[in-house]
Structure 1
Amino acid sequence: MIRILAVSDGNLQDKLSLYELFKQEPKDWYWVDISAPSEKEEAEIAQFLPASHNPSKKEPQVNRRPQLKFFGDSYRLTLIVISPNTLKAHELHLYISGNTLISRHHDNLKAINDVWHECRPIGKTPDPENIHNILHRLFDRLLEQYFMVANQLEDQIDLLDDNLKGESIRKLDNRVFRIRHQLLGFRRSISPLQDIIQRMIASPLIETAEQETLYLREFSENLARIVHIIEANLEITSDIRDSYLSLTSYRMNSIMQTLTVITVIFMPLTFIAGVYGMNFKYMPELKWHYGYYIVLILMMGIAISMYFWFRRKGWFRD
């Protein structure tokens, strides 16, 4: 799907095709949004948009890392959008050049849709004065989603710590490792974006007004806050994981201790049963009238004595 917003002399147009867009007079600004285009739309895109303006569909769809590439006085920004509901990562490519903004994404993105509807109020003059204002609105939406994802992962960690459902250690371990995997992927999507924003501020190829520079610095500070939250949550999951491993090790040692006690108690009993199970001819005890009962009492006495001895040593204490 290809949709276009174009503003000329304060008038908004949202029903243009690519052919009509480039045929008319220069616009105040225009935004072309490309979402999962068909083959026919791909041909139209290749005809009207340069390769630098438009990431090819043959490129990897998900690099999972933000990128910044310069093309003369324009640049292309690749962002990782994370859905707060599914925690899935989606790539968003943005091409910015003067009064031009071209966005391309494979999946339907809520942040794009929200900003798109904000920029086309019915019967009113569009609020954004230029492409950079639209870009700032998009950054704000992405930042909101990043904070929502961070809070959601933090809530999952709180549930792990409380263990309200009384799940087994194995299930809890699996949940801890899954959350850590999500946190690491989240950090991999956020951390490089801080460096990219700093490059955008310092690069002589991108003209930034003082107000825009202040906005980008504030955006970078918010990203740093999210990264700090991610790092703190990673430490918490590491502590929870270590606690679970220690508890598992303690339980394993307790089980091995119990099995050892049972084995040690039965060792002399097995020895006695083995001796009197040989049935040699010259074994006087075999002809005793009360020999069977005496041996049973002896074996029981040994077992009880060893039990109380181990208990006195503290082997049965929690």
Structure 2
Amino acid sequence: MIYIHYFDPELTTWQQRQVTQLTNELRLSAPLWLDLSEASSDEEQQVMQMLAIAPTIAEDFTRQRHPPKFEAQADFSLLILRGYADADFTEFTRSAQVNLLFSRDILISKVLCHEPQLAVLLKPQLSTGINNTVLEWVKQLTLTVSGSYLGKLLSFEDELSELEDHMLRNGDDELMASMMRYRSVLRKVNRNLAYQKDIFADAMYEVQHPLSGHFTNTDLRDFYEKFERLHSMTDMYYDQLSDLVHGYMSTTSHQINERMKVLTMVSTIFIPLTFLAGVYGMNFHNMPELSFANGYFITLVIMLFIGLGSLAWFKFKNWW
């Protein structure tokens, strides 16, 4: 069952009525809040038809997964935001989807969030103060969405510093895998923040944008700057992780090259020795050297000088 939350000035408390009791008289008790987070599809359609919501906006509002966007019709505006609901950036399960359909006197919200504490914050604060308006609710929810990223990004800054120190001291494949997971999560977060930043950037710079009719330019600039800062932070952290990944790959490649250099030098020394051993291992009867009494020892001495000479040449070239 869907309930309408409204403030009763006589009782000075917030009251509830069933959505079927939404009348013009009740709409005079603005602001009103309808929470469709637990509503069925039929109930959602009932509300959309009752308030004459345009089909395209109604379809976007009722979707469980939709990228952040803003759209307006004559009476209602649709604002879809995405908050960050995971504990940290080690993995990304799904975003907190916040769908807001609002007019001057009615707010309809649909919040899909798997994190209980954030889900509580993504509800309008029903108070008796003078700022208890639909636009203040939308402003509060927008700031809550931006705040869901900020605290975790600030905590990740310290974690990233420790990760960088570990990589410089003793990098390994496990840390490399952690950095790749972080990069993947930050890329998804960055995409969500870019959408939301662009929503408020358009509202600031477009002439007669619908959002500018709801919020002051100061509020829009505040929203934009918050999401722009978050977007810049994710860009910076992603670049730092990329530098660490490239640094680890470069170090690993250098270590491999050093090992290959040693193997190459060993191969270079033993190739002529193997050639000599191959020549004198052919067992032809007419080989002149077979008649030398000290041929075996002479060949060993030659092979020894070849090996030592190769090592001396490598040392002279500073190859080891």
TM exceeding 0.5: yes
Query: CA offsets, 1:10-48, max 9 Å, x none?
Result: 43014x332234586222211122225445645655664
Secondary structure in structure 1 of the residue aligned to 2:318: coil
CA separation of 1:166 and 1:41: change in aligned 2, threshold 3 A: farther
Q: Which residue of 2 is the match for residue 195 of structure 1?
A: 198
Give me the whole-angstrom Cα distance separating, in 1, the residues matched to 2:209 and 2:59.
Answer: 27
Give me the whole-angstrom Cα distance separating, in 1, the residues matched to 2:234 and 2:73.
Answer: 33
Q: Which moved more, 1:48-57 or 1:68-77?
A: 48-57
Q: Does 1:300 align with 2:304?
A: yes
* Equivalent position to 2:113, from 84, 107, 130: 107
Contact 1:119–1:127, Cα closer than 8 Å, also in 2? no
Question: What are the equivalent positions in structure 2 for 1:135-284 lying under 5 Å apart?
Answer: 135-163=138-166, 166-168=170-172, 170-200=173-203, 203=208, 205-206=210-211, 208=213, 212-284=216-288
Give me the whole-angstrom Cα distance separating, in 2, the residues matched to 1:257 and 1:20.
Answer: 83
Contact 2:104–2:135, Cα closer than 8 Å, also in 1? no
Give me the whole-angstrom Cα distance separating, in 1, the residues matched to 2:282 and 2:253.
Answer: 42
Give me the whole-angstrom Cα distance separating, in 1, the residues matched to 2:31 and 2:243.
Answer: 51
Give me the whole-angstrom Cα distance separating, in 1, the residues matched to 2:237 and 2:37.
Answer: 34
TM-score scaled by structure 2? 0.80
Give me the whole-angstrom Cα distance separating, in 2, the residues matched to 1:199 and 1:36.
Answer: 32
1:270 maps to a residue whose letter is: T
Contact 2:135–2:214, Cα closer than 8 Å, also in 1? no
Aligned-CA RMSD value: 3.3
Question: What are the equivalent positions in structure 2 for 1:90-129 lying under 5 Å apart?
Answer: 90-108=96-114, 110-116=117-123, 118-119=125-126, 125=128, 128-129=131-132
Contact 1:176–1:237, Cα closer than 8 Å, also in 2? yes
Secondary structure in structure 2 of the residue aligned to 1:92: strand
Give me the whole-angstrom Cα distance separating, in 2, the residues matched to 1:302 and 1:36.
Answer: 84
Contact 1:266–1:303, Cα closer than 8 Å, also in 2? yes
Q: Which moved more, 1:18-27 or 1:269-278?
A: 18-27
Secondary structure in structure 1 of the residue aligned to 2:26: coil
Q: Which residue of 2 is the match for residue 5 of structure 1?
A: 5
Give me the whole-angstrom Cα distance separating, in 2, the residues matched to 1:6 and 1:239.
Answer: 53
* Equivalent position to 2:95, from 66, 89, 93: 89
Deviation at 1:161, TM superposition (A): 1.5
Deviation at 1:251, TM superposition (A): 2.3
Contact 1:194–1:223, Cα closer than 8 Å, also in 2? yes
Give me the whole-angstrom Cα distance separating, in 2, the residues matched to 1:273 and 1:310.
Answer: 23
CA separation of 1:62 and 1:259: change in aligned 2, threshold 3 A: farther
Contact 1:78–1:92, Cα closer than 8 Å, also in 2? yes
CA separation of 1:259 and 1:99: change in aligned 2, threshold 3 A: same
Deviation at 1:289, TM superposition (A): 5.0
Secondary structure in structure 2 of the residue aligned to 1:13: strand
Deviation at 1:117, TM superposition (A): 7.5
Secondary structure in structure 2 of the residue aligned to 1:272: helix
CA separation of 1:115 and 1:62: change in aligned 2, threshold 3 A: closer
